[in-house]
């Protein structure tokens, strides 16, 4: 029964954001124009997010931790450089929300059923995305930040949705399903903020 509920929740969240499968996600990202040669987004990596083997719990918690770390660091940068007050408010919310989920991931990673040391630095792709933001200023920064957030949240929906439906550890699956609900809320907020900032929402 619990498995059926989790699968249904993951399917609804993914459909709500237009990411019912990896192929459609890749196609959506291509049409968004959110990818540039500056390293803003990697389409191939985005399309493959959440595609690791269902039983690879350690990879899941590591990727979730890196996702949170990127959200926090990029949003801290947005507090310094963003022009729009709405973008800054969104960044504050992301810092608070992803700091909270990071705490939960640390608890899961330290449990005997996972036993995983979490990464403390960004992977090369996310580090390159952060470097792009550091080199951007003014209104262009706001757009670059929102573009990256759009893709990051799509990746997160795929990552958590994949584990919620196919993962092997029930406790971790419950965390993934609950986190999907939060990520969907973030994606909905992001649409409103992006629209108000005068940039293309990018998410359907």
- Domain span including residue 134: 57-196
Residue 124 lies in a domain: yes
Residue 32 has a pLDDT of 40
Distance from C-alpha of 58 to C-alpha of 176, rounded to nearest angstrom: 13
Residue 123 lies in a domain: yes
Residue 81 has a pLDDT of 97
Residue 41 has a pLDDT of 42
Residue 15 lies in a domain: no
Residue 26 lies in a domain: no
Helix axes 124-134, 138-166, angle to 10 degrees: 160
Residue 56 has a pLDDT of 86
Residue 9 lies in a domain: no
Residue 25 lies in a domain: no
Residue 97 lies in a domain: yes
Distance from C-alpha of 74 to C-alpha of 99, rounded to nearest angstrom: 13
Give average pLDDT by consecutive 10-residue segment, the chain, 204 residues: 42 39 37 37 46 68 96 98 96 97 95 90 97 96 96 96 94 96 94 72 36
Contact between 18 and 204 (Cβ < 8 Å): yes
Residue 156 lies in a domain: yes
Q: How many domains are there within the chain?
A: 1
Q: What is the CATH number of the domain that holds 129?
A: 1.20.1260.10
The tokens describing 65, both together, are 């931790």
């Amino acid at each position: 029964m619990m498995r059926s509920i989790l699968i249904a929740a993951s399917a609804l969240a993914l459909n709500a954001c237009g990411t019912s499968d990896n192929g459609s996600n890749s196609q959506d990202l291509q049409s968004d124009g959110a990818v540039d040669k500056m390293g803003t987004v990697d389409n191939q990596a985005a399309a493959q997010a959440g595609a690791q083997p269902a039983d690879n719990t350690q990879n899941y918690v590591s990727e979730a931790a890196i996702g949170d770390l990127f959200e926090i660091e990029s949003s801290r940068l947005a507090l310094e450089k963003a022009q729009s007050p709405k973008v800054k408010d969104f960044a504050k919310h992301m810092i608070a929300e992803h700091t909270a989920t990071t705490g939960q991931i640390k608890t899961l990673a330290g449990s005997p059923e996972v036993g995983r040391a979490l990464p403390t630095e960004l992977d090369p792709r996310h580090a390159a995305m952060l470097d792009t933001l550091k080199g951007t200023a003014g209104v262009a920064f706001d757009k670059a930040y929102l573009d990256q957030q759009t893709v990051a949240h799509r990746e997160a929906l795929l990552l958590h949705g994949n584990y919620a439906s196919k993962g092997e550890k029930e406790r971790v699956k419950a965390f993934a399903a609950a986190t999907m609900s939060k990520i969907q809320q973030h994606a909905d907020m992001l649409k409103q903020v992006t629209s108000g900032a005068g940039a293309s929402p990018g998410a359907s």
